[in-house]
Amino acid sequence: MAIQEHSYYASFGYHVTGFFGISSRSGSPDDFKYLVNKAHSLGLKIVIDLVHSHASNNMNDGVKDFDGSDHCFSHGGTRGYHSDWDSMLFDYSKYEVKRFLLANLAWFLDEYKVDGYRFDAVTSILYQHHGIGTSFSGNYAEYFGLNTDLDGIVYLMLANTLIREINPDAITIAEDVSGQPTLCREIKDGGMGFDYRLSMFMPDMWIKLLDGCPDENWNMGHITHSLTNRRWKEKVVGYAESHDQAIVGDKTHSMWLFDADIYTGMSRLFEATLRVSRGMALHKMIRLVSQSLGGEAYLNFMGNEFGHPEWIDFPREGNGDSYDYCRR
């Protein structure tokens, strides 16, 4: 979940209104500084979510229409609006926008001493279509053509350059669904300079197997090829599932595996059912294989495999502002 200040809680922190602020829901700036210092004292690094791909569409408490026009920080008209996210899109060709976003990068590195960033929704920055209604087959014409947003790419190159100037040991991770070939290439070679990309296909692969394929029919050759099929020397963050699999209608791996037994069959006071025994074995195997083959780093799930076994959803227009699915 992104920690920058946001007004709409159901966005999970991704409709940012205050780019330089820590979300008040999580505590004060001093609380966050204490967290970072404590982590550093234990030898841990803090990598935070950074949302520079879009901004809240609110006019009252965000940067949208900041000067009264619809093109201060964004493109004017429909090009400055992401229809799937109901959010404002930045115009990376503008000097003021680059200065604003780069200053935001420097702020968290200097003021809070964070150790890096996971750049959210990089696909939206890379292409003028922002990935909306687009599938990527791996053909290089999809990456380098008229739909490529050169201003967005230049911004990402500048961002990684600035981050390294402030902290040479900082870590940057890109969330990109397109498979852009130059994402993790060094800037001197014409790349964008990210250290890692998120392996976003991996959770979908496991869900497809859990949902529609009996485990005795799982093809280990196909699984192995899928987990190791990445570009030479391109570092990848693998993960079996994330919060995306536990919101708005989907289920965690544990819910797929245990189903109703997750409520009544998990006690060690009586013998496990066949479903629980099978589920525990597959749950461990999925993570073992993902960690072993899936990348040069591994992202653990965010702690709600069993705490939120069913999918969760916040009150929003699409569900009639219901609280029924956020109290699980």
Q: What residues are annotated to the active site?
A: 120, 175
What DSSP string describes 33-64?
HHHHHHHHHTT---EEEE--S-EE--SSSSST
Contact 174, 119 (CB under 8 A): yes
Alpha carbon distance 165, 94 (integer Å): 22
Sign of the C-alpha dihedral computed for residues 212, 249, 297 and 304 taken in this order: negative
What secondary structure letter does DSSP report for 245?
G
Alpha carbon distance 325, 22 (integer Å): 26
Q: What are residue 163's phi and psi, to 5 degrees?
A: -60, -45
Alpha carbon distance 286, 283 (integer Å): 5
H or E stretch including 262?
helix 261-264
